[in-house]
Chain A
Amino acid sequence: MKTSFLSSTLLALAITSLFIACNKEAEIGPNDTNTVVLEFENRVGTQPLVLGLTTYKNASNEDFNVTTFNYFISNIALKKDDGTVLKLTNQYFLIRTADAATSRVELKNVPAANYTEVSFMIGVDSTKSVSDVGQRIGVLDIASYTNDNMYWSWNSGYIFMKFEGTSPVVPLSTNGTRKFEMHVGGFGGMTSKVTNNLRTVTLALPSSATVRKKIAPEVHFFTDVAKIFSGTTTIKLAETNSIHSPSAAAPIVNNYVKMFTVDHVHNEKD
């Protein structure tokens, strides 16, 4: 009799302490923060995007390969389960497929909460686009691009998305290549009201990202370049293979706004 009472008590104590421990982990302290990682995996349909010789087919059954796929992510916001929104200001990221390290976007010091929705802008917002050169550091430093340019010096502004490759359907150019180049920019202009290709993407998370003192969630996105070719408008490389101005880029933009999905969320213990 005594043993079973002791066992029960110990069991009860064990369960209680486990419960308390779990609660502590689950507790949202008012000053608790941690890092949220947004991982962008670039794909073509269900296949991973591999730069170089790998050939893919688009919705118009055109073969293509990809040599460059870059995009700016900025103005990230995270919505909590109570409806309030956390806006992360002055954080700009440049995802370059050629540099695997850039696919991990680290958002530091995110307050502990349950986050159910993420939104971000594709590109560099207009305020930053007209800011002093001293405000343009890191991925916004116009001297940092060398051979993978992301800035139009002749029409001051950033290239929001750059998508380049070759395809047998692209007409032969004067220098003997069949390249396609899609450079999307256009923040709306400084003085004249011109094409604004800035777009915000809002995605619900399939499960909450629970930021805690000891939990640093990772949100895993798929960025599907196949969607550049289909969506609102069907883009055929045979006709559309050289985009270097904001107004020409508009159909591309309306398509690529849909190229992001959230595949899953890990709530990683820290």
Chain B
Amino acid sequence: MKKLQISAFFAAVILFVLAACQEATETPNPVPVAEEKPLFAVPKNFPAPIYALDKKPITQDGFLLGKTLFYDGILSRDGSISCGECHRQDFAFTHHLHDLSHGIDNQIGLRNAPPLHNLAWGKSFMWDGGVFDLDLFSVAPIENPVEMHEKLGNVLEKLRKSPTYPALFKKAFGTEEISTERFLKSLSQFMLSLVSANSRYDKYIRKEGVMLSSTELAGLELFKQKCAACHAGELFTNDSFRNNGLPIFRERYQSVTKVVDGVKKTVLELVVDDGRMRITELLSDKNKFKVPSLRNIEHTQPYMHDGRFATLQEVLNHYSDGVADTQNLDPILKQNGRLGIALTDTEKTQIIAFLRSLTDVEYLSDKRFTP
């Protein structure tokens, strides 16, 4: 009796599955294919890009080559450090929970790894704006002794000898000849594709059917009044260099691996970071750093050029009560007889809520950018 029941059960299952399969193939309405997002498009609420994409367009194969290079440790002296090491997509291409990053041989860098979105609109690159052309950017981390510590020429030689790269260059540029220009521009193509403009804030602003909560809307209004002078427009930065009153640690040391008397040792070195002055050598630029974009800020902690603040609450507490009158403090932070920006606890909560609406989940999970 039992055997019969079991057989009958299985028979029923099989029949059911067959029937279901039959039904599926007879479905009149096919499942719609997701629209292929272009690798680069100017979002409707954004200004025109600065990078000359008309002269140097992004192609699918150029993008793929750039992405492969971005995630490849071959760019570093010992193969251990790729761009992706400090720039992780889940965290908007920053180095999660690292105030400063560790590069080759576990050496610590000078500054916090910035996010990589919307570089096509960048006027300059790095916290001190030392690089003004995205195509010339990649050589800096490659040759930095505490990051990848490799010579650009050596990277190109390694790529030429690799079993895979000549073919990838052929696909992207029509030739296996791996030149400096093609190498740098393919990395640019990948980086330029990292466009973040689909946060809840964006969809609200573009009237695409998203509403912000009343707290977030209050935060937006406060933001426009108190923050947008520097964190301006849809890019949330005007790319200017400002001193926002960060107290200068009297003694800030960091661990550095050096050769002392022919022996590799870890020593403590005093860190002096003059910011923009490092590039322009103008005293008026001392302590100034580039205003960062606040998009995806929920995921790019810790904050500031040296990653000193772990939370957005700490950032706003700094602006309300922590601003120090250091050399070249921005005049905006020294108004009405007080340092910083007056913010109540409620206002801070509202601003933080608004800042969270700048998270672009689609960007953070876009599989095209994943290795």
The majority secondary structure among interface residues of chain B is: helix
Residue total for B at the interface (Cβ-Cβ under 8 A): 37
Asked if B135 is an interface residue, CB under 8 A from chain A, the answer is yes
B151: nearest chain-A partner, CB-CB: A146
Contact status B260-A153, CB under 8 Å: no
Residue total for A at the interface (Cβ-Cβ under 8 A): 30
Contact status A195-B281, CB under 8 Å: yes
B56: nearest chain-A partner, CB-CB: A132
Residues of A within 8 A of B258 (CB): 174-175
Asked if A189 is an interface residue, CB under 8 A from chain B, the answer is yes
Contact status A191-B180, CB under 8 Å: no
Tell me which of B131, B140, B281, B285 contacts A247 (CB under 8 A): B281
Asked if B31 is an interface residue, CB under 8 A from chain A, the answer is no
Q: Nearest Cβ in chain A — how far from B81, in angstroms?
A: 16
Q: Nearest Cβ in chain B — how far from A111, in angstroms?
A: 32
Interface members, chain A 135-175 (any B CB < 8 Å): 136, 141-147, 149, 151, 153-156, 174-175
Contact status A156-B136, CB under 8 Å: yes
Residues of A within 8 A of B282 (CB): 192, 194
Contact status A142-B135, CB under 8 Å: no
Residues of B within 8 A of A145 (CB): 151, 153
Contact status A134-B133, CB under 8 Å: no
Interface members, chain A 94-146 (any B CB < 8 Å): 130, 132-134, 136, 141-146
Residues of B within 8 A of A194 (CB): 279-282
Contact status A144-B280, CB under 8 Å: no
Q: A144-B153, A174-B260, A175-B260 are known contacts. Are A133 and B136 too (CB-CB below 8 A)?
A: yes
Interface members, chain B 279-304 (any A CB < 8 Å): 279-282, 285
Residues of B within 8 A of A176 (CB): 260-262
Asked if A190 is an interface residue, CB under 8 A from chain B, the answer is yes
Asked if A245 is an interface residue, CB under 8 A from chain B, the answer is yes
Interface members, chain B 133-191 (any A CB < 8 Å): 133, 135-136, 139-140, 142-144, 151-156, 180-181, 183-185
Measured between alpha carbons, how far is A132 from B184 in the docked complex, in Å? 11
Residues of B within 8 A of A189 (CB): 280
Q: Nearest Cβ in chain B — how far from A151, in angstroms?
A: 8
Measured between alpha carbons, how far is A67 from B144 in the docked complex, in Å? 23
Asked if B34 is an interface residue, CB under 8 A from chain A, the answer is no
Contact status B260-A133, CB under 8 Å: no
Asked if A246 is an interface residue, CB under 8 A from chain B, the answer is yes
Q: Nearest Cβ in chain A — how far from B173, in angstroms?
A: 12
Measured between alpha carbons, how far is A194 from B283 in the docked complex, in Å? 11
Interface members, chain A 173-189 (any B CB < 8 Å): 174-176, 189
Residues of A within 8 A of B140 (CB): 153-154
Residues of B within 8 A of A153 (CB): 131, 136, 139-140, 142-144
B156: nearest chain-A partner, CB-CB: A143
Q: Nearest Cβ in chain A — how far from B145, in angstroms?
A: 11
Measured between alpha carbons, how far is A130 from B131 in the docked complex, in Å? 10
Mask, B237-267, CB within 8 Å of A = 1, is 0000000000000000000001111100000
Instruction: Report A's interface with B, CB cutoff 8 A.
Output: 130, 132-134, 136, 141-147, 149, 151, 153-156, 174-176, 189-192, 194-195, 245-247
Instruction: Report B's interface with A, CB cutoff 8 A.
Output: 123-124, 126, 129-133, 135-136, 139-140, 142-144, 151-156, 180-181, 183-185, 258-262, 278-282, 285
In the complex, 12 of the A-B residue pairs with CB atoms within 8 angstroms, ordered by the A residue number, are A133-B181, A133-B185, A146-B154, A147-B151, A151-B139, A154-B131, A156-B132, A156-B133, A174-B260, A192-B279, A194-B279, A246-B281
Q: 7 tightest CB-CB pairs across the interface, nearest first?
A: A143-B152, A143-B180, A153-B140, A190-B132, A247-B281, A153-B139, A146-B153
